[in-house]
Amino acid sequence: MPAQTRSLLAVQDLEDSSRTRGLADSDLNALRAVADWIKTFVAMPNNDLGRGGPVCPFVGRAMERNTLWLAPERVADRGVADVVQLVNDYKGRLLRADPVQGEAIAFKAIVVVFTDVSADRANDILGDAQVAQLLKPSYTQDGVVIGEFHERNELSSVHNSAFQPFRSPVPFVLLRHADITDWKLYLSDEDWLGRWARRFPESAVPALAEELRRTNWQQLEP
């Protein structure tokens, strides 16, 4: 049976000894490394990104609202089923955390940091097809996006194939609510693009049309 999930910490909590008391130094150092990477890279613009704005449009605003939470977990000796169950437990915590309705839910996120896992081991765990298959219902049923970050992640930016923004210094998974703009993540996967369209049945086509209007669509051949 998987261990109980850990306490959630806001980024600013990492400098409060009363909040981090009881954490092993290795766990705290891993959390700080991820938090620093998020603040200095993910939440900032980047010339290599291929578009304006921060690398991720969600996490910076989540930090401003104190709704970006981190939790350390040790999973090196756990199997695939245990890791999936652990992530699903955090998904439940994300869904229950305030706010639970309205536009503000788009800026809730939980970062589960795997503090004892090497980049190679993270690639083995998170790249496992069984993990991806078992986590698919999270999006279909609950509208939760689960992203994997580690040094071996080969996924690239939609706007620049040479830019790989998912390579983090410490392995972690990010859980957040689905957003209408997520179609950009799924263009190369018909299964996931279909899941996105079914989640946003009334707004999917207008969202794609709005993006197309930003291109030179009128010059396309009929």
Quick check: is 152 in a domain? yes
Quick check: is 70 in a domain? yes
Co-location of 98 and 202 in the same domain = no
Co-location of 150 and 219 in the same domain = no
In the prediction, which pLDDT does 130 show?
A: 64
Co-location of 30 and 103 in the same domain = yes
In the prediction, which pLDDT does 218 show?
A: 56
In the prediction, which pLDDT does 141 show?
A: 86
Instruction: Give the count of domains, the chain.
Output: 2
In the prediction, which pLDDT does 1 show?
A: 40
Quick check: is 3 in a domain? no
In the prediction, which pLDDT does 129 show?
A: 60
The burial class, CB within 10 Å (0-12 / 13-18 / 19+), for 122 is buried
> Locate tokens 């200095």: which residue?
40
Co-location of 43 and 144 in the same domain = yes
The encoded tokens of residue 176 equal 């957040």
Q: What does 78-115 look like in DSSP terms, one character per residue?
A: --HHHHHHHHHHHHHHHHHSSP-SSGGGGG-EEEEEET
In the prediction, which pLDDT does 214 show?
A: 75
Co-location of 159 and 133 in the same domain = yes
Using alpha carbons only, how large is the chain's radius of gyration in Å? 18
Quick check: is 1 in a domain? no
Quick check: is 2 in a domain? no
Co-location of 98 and 197 in the same domain = no
Co-location of 95 and 22 in the same domain = yes
Residues of the chain with pLDDT under 50: 1-3
In the prediction, which pLDDT does 221 show?
A: 54
In the prediction, which pLDDT does 138 show?
A: 83
Q: List, for residues 78-107, the tens digit of each pLDDT value.
A: 888 888 899 999 999 999 999 998 889 999
In the prediction, which pLDDT does 51 show?
A: 85
Quick check: is 59 in a domain? yes
Co-location of 58 and 139 in the same domain = yes
Domain that residue 206 falls in? 181-222
The encoded tokens of residue 169 equal 């210094």
Distances (CA, A) of 40 to 19, 56, 132, 141: 23, 12, 29, 33
In the prediction, which pLDDT does 15 show?
A: 93
Q: List, for residues 200-220, the tens digit of each pLDDT value.
A: 988 888 888 887 787 665 555
